[in-house]
Amino acid sequence: MRLDEYVQHDAIGLASLVKAGEITPLELTRLAREAHDEVNPRVNAVIEFYEDAESVAGADDGVFAGVPFLRKDTGASEAGRLQEKGSRLFKGCRPDTDSYYFRRAREAGLRTLGRTTMPEFGTSGMSQSILNGVTGNPWDLDRSAGGSSSGSAAAVAAGITPIAHSSDGGGSIRIPASWCGLVGLNPSRGRISGGPNNQDASFGRSREFVVCRTVRDMAAALDVFSGPRPGDPFIITQPKRSYCEELSQLTGALRVGVARTKWGAVDLEPEVLAAVDSTATLLEEMGHRITEIEPPYESAEYSRIFLAGSARSAHLLGETAQAMGRTISADTVEPINLKIYEYGRRASPFLTGDVQELMRKMWVRVAEAVEPYDILLTPTMPTVALLHGTIYCTTNPTLSAEEFMEADAALYQYLGVLNVTGHPAVSLPLGQSPNGMPIGLQIVARFGDEATLVRVARDLEEARPWRERHPRVWAGQQH
């Protein structure tokens, strides 16, 4: 198989070739390395391609048998592998915990070949850090790939691997999926275990999953990574059938709430609103009932939750640094994260309780607002990918912690609220700007109802296919 052929397949497609004996996992690993060597010097998505990549283990009979995979540099961990969280503070750190996530990845046949870039601690939705530099968007290298799953999204968009590990604590899967033209699902709270050592990250706001190029890969990944494990704080209702089986089920007529107005301070770009309207019309043509909805919350509510959580975050970061024998300072932590840490240290310890109460109120308010609808259609982001070096970067020395959180809530206005409430939401690459930049649209389902998301996403992918759209930086066939 040539490189220009490798990049045309999604993960399920490559696995089917392995199972048919048409290619071996080792050959796929070498193709991923070839793609990496060609495009990574331009996009800076992968910070480490494992020296022992050709001997990485993975089941030969799993759903993703032999498929190359990459790991985001935070969250789920591989025992003994570097995990630096995009930060100088964690330079050289190697956790001794093998997450359930990566055990399931290996059992499914995925070969994890390296790790990807991210902004420090995943705080920002941009794609740069002092430790690892700037990750370019394969569609336009001058623009952000999004964050915090920056490198994973850029690597998949550029063709290094067809699927990669990602995580989402406030939009960190959906932002880069939107800006890099990918499928990015943030599952329901509790759908995927964070164990054995991180079962309830940020009170359930942060979830692990993948970024990929096709809906069938998303469905297969849900089957692979879903399911409770010992120690999980609660067990979510399990699906009636596999998510891959949902791909062949009828969708039925749905009640669709459409967000055409902004939910935060940043205005919708005209091309984003046009993509929302076009997709709403498409859903209506499919037989669904469309109703325009008002914002279900105030963005200041989300900012308060984020700031209130800083006390707990500061305590945990301080404990971790002390255990490592390291010092938190301007030499180890980026400007915004240092200000958030200092804000959290000054804050009352009772703010942890405030976080839970603020989240509870938002759960109720948003749940009541969206209850009349089977799904919501919203923009993923109010803008196309921004240029590098905006105020939203944690390297920015000019903003206070409060100003950064307000800016964060304004830009990621359709995203973080769903991390708080626990609803599943997927960004699909359904639009393009006049200059060819991807525009992601978000489909939100009721809590625990990923099955409906799979069916609706399948319908939209079939009606408005995106697989033939490729970025300028694309392995094997540069534009």
3-state secondary structure 115-170: EECCCHHHCCCCCEECCCEECEECCEEEEECCCCCHHHHHHHHHCCCCEEEEEECC
Q: What is the pTM of this model?
A: 0.97
Bridge partners of residue 143, in order along the sequence: 387
Q: Which of 38-52, 141-155, 344-358, 411-425 has the lowest mean pLDDT?
A: 344-358
Q: Is 361 considered catalytic here? A: no
Q: Is 339 considered catalytic here? A: no
Q: Residue range 333-355: average pLDDT? A: 83
Catalytic residue, from 72, 129, 188, 202: name it: 72
- Phi and psi at residue 294, in whole multiples of 5°? -90, 160
Q: Residue range 392-421: average pLDDT? A: 94
Condensed to tens digits (0 to 9), the pLDDT of residues 210-250 reads 999 999 999 999 999 999 998 888 889 999 999 999 999 99
Q: Is 188 considered catalytic here? A: no
Calculate the average pLDDT of the chain.
95
Catalytic residue, from 127, 172, 206, 299: name it: 172
Domain residue spans in the chain? 3-463
Token readout for 477 is 């066939």
CATH homologous superfamily of domain 3-463? Amidase signature (AS) domain (3.90.1300.10)
Instruction: Give the residue among 374, 365, 382, 370 at the shortest CA–CA distance from 293.
Output: 370
Catalytic residue, from 87, 124, 144, 148: name it: 148
User: pLDDT band for position 479 (50/70/90)?
Assistant: very low
| pLDDT for res 65 | 98
Instruction: Give the residue among 377, 344, 146, 351 at the shortest CA–CA distance from 259.
Output: 377
